[in-house]
Structure formats: C-alpha cells, structure tokens
Structure 1
Amino acid sequence: MMIHPLPPPIVTNQPTMTRGEPRTGSWSSDTFDCWDDKEICCFGFWCCPCLACTVSSAFGECLCLPLLNILSGGFPVTTVAIRSSMREKYQIPGSILEDWVLVCFCNACVLCQLARELKLREHQFS
C-alpha cells in the first residue's frame, strides 16, 4: 500500500512590498533620489518656488510661507523649518545643521524629497 504525501498548501494571498514604503525613523527616499518620482522632479526643476509653496501647503503650513525667503536675503529658511518639522513629526533622526547644509547646497533636491515624503505618508501631495 502506497502512502501519498499531502499536497502543498495553496497560496491565496501574495505578499506585496511597496518600493519606498515609509518607515518610522527614516526618510522613505534619499535626498538625491529625485528621479524616484519624475513628476515631482520636473515640478521642482521647472518651478522650484511653486514646489516650495505646494510642499508648505501640503504639510499644513501657509501656502505663501516660502515667500518669506525673500525677506531673509534669499536663504531658504522656510525649507529648513519645514524639513526639521517633518523630521520631528515622523521621528527621523538628524540635526538642524544637516538640514541647513542640504538646503543650502541643493534646495530643489530637498524640496523634492519633502514632496515625496508627503506623498507616501500623507497621500495628499499631487
């Protein structure tokens, strides 16, 4: 008499993994991963001030907040403030010095990173 082994279990749900899925304690994408979202990248490249205003609004701040950069001699102080606030909200480690350095050397890349973060975590950036 021959004993037949049990058939393998049938898989009914495939595991899924979303690229760039947000995690508490870290950015969902690097500062220079601008091409991860081409729409946001093009928006930042062609109209960086508009992207700054959109990010500010999507984060819950005044739409015109980035216009205060004009009063600060052109330094993107509002981007630094929004980035540090976002780090605090999502418990992402870092420092204000790191925020300043990144914003001063590549403001558009930082704005794109903030927009991608809002898009993944809040599902409200478009």
Structure 2
Amino acid sequence: MYPSKQEPTYGAPPAANAYYGAPPPSTGLPVTVPPGGFQLQAHLPTIGPWSTGLCDCGDDTRNCCITCLCPCITFGQVAEIIDKGSTSCGASGALYVLILCVTGCSCLYSCFYRTKLRAQYGLREEPCNDCLVHCCCEYCSLCQMYRELTRRGFNMDIGWHANMERQGHMATMPPPPQSMSR
C-alpha cells in the first residue's frame, strides 16, 4: 500500500524519491486526486506592469508639485490607502518627517510602502529594486505610487474610509461607545 522506505545513511541527506517513489510523469493533463488524498497548489500572484512609468508626471502636474514641495503629504495619502485606513494620512506623514529629520533619509521608510503596494496589486519590481528606486528617485516613486492608486479608482484626497463608503463598502470602524442605562 505504501512505497517502501529505504533507511538513509547517516551523514548524507535523504533523497525524496527514496522515501516516496518517483513523481508521476508530467503530461499537461489534469490530475485527479484520490479520495482522502490532497494536492498542493501554489498560488502565485500575477505580476503585471505599473499603469504609468516612473517619470510620467506630465498628466498629473498638481501632485508632482505637491510632492516636490512637501513629499510628506503625498506619502501620507499613499500610506493611508496602502494600509487600508489602519494609519491616518497625518500620522504617516508626520512619521515620514520625523524619520527625515532624525536620519536625513526618509527613503528608508517609504521604500517599504512601495514593496507593500507591489505585493497588493501584483506589480513588477521595476526599473530596479524598491529601495534603490526610493534612494535615487524618491519623489518620482511617490508620484508613481500616487498615480497607480488613482488609476485603480481611489480618490487620494478623501482617504481610505471615504473611498470605501464611495465604493459601497462599509469601512471597518469600531462601533460607537454605548452608555450604560437601566
């Protein structure tokens, strides 16, 4: 009933085929799983391109100007949407400024949000590593993240909760406190 096991020799790694037999041949046809058995399937996200390039600021000059003058505003708006409302725009922007003042390098914080955005929407890591993009072209990267979320239907000026209400979803908010009554 079970494939015969061969005892591994000590000091050498066991071969998978020695324990479980040879894997079935790959035919390209669907495989039926016997009752009581299971089949593991890897779910890999679809990797696609960004909707705009890193330096495509021509269609959104308003955001590019805001980002050049005060990048903490753009970062706060982007972070609130990526975090799905768990952090506010103001708190994220303030933390961005604090990290900039203490380290002089806010890209250490903002590059993680580029990675989170790519993971949420299955975007390619282009033109190079996320941290390198933020260290070399932080303002362009913030603008690209802003444009990506805008093209995916978010109104960046109203925040996460208002976007969810606008889309017909109930934003997850705690129930209002109730007073005790007799």
Match of 1:52, as an amino acid?
F
Q: Which residue of 1 aligns with 2:58?
A: 35
Instruction: Specify whether residues 118 and 58 from structure 1 end up closer, same or farther in structure 2 by C-alpha distance, changes over 3 A only.
Output: same
The structure having more radius of gyration, on CA atoms, is: 2
In the alignment, is residue 84 of structure 1 matched against residue 107 of structure 2?
A: no
Give the % identical residues. Answer: 26
Q: Is the 8 A contact 1:25 1:92 kept in 2?
A: yes
The gaps in structure 2 that reach 5 residues or longer are 1-46, 158-182
What is the aligned residue count?
A: 103
Match of 2:141, as an amino acid?
V
Deviations 1:21-66 (A, max 9, x none): xxx6110001111222111111112211221112212323523232
Q: Which residue of 2 aligns with 1:21?
A: none
Q: Which residue of 2 aligns with 1:107?
A: 138
Aligned pairs (5 A) from 1:23-102 = 25-60=48-83, 62=87, 63=89, 64-65=91-92, 66-67=96-97, 69-70=99-100, 73-75=103-105, 76-94=107-125, 98-102=129-133
The separation in 1 between residues aligned to 2:52 and 2:113, in whole angstroms, is 17
When you count helix as a share of all residues, which structure comes out higher? 1
The separation in 1 between residues aligned to 2:102 and 2:132, in whole angstroms, is 16
The gaps in structure 1 that reach 5 residues or longer are 1-23
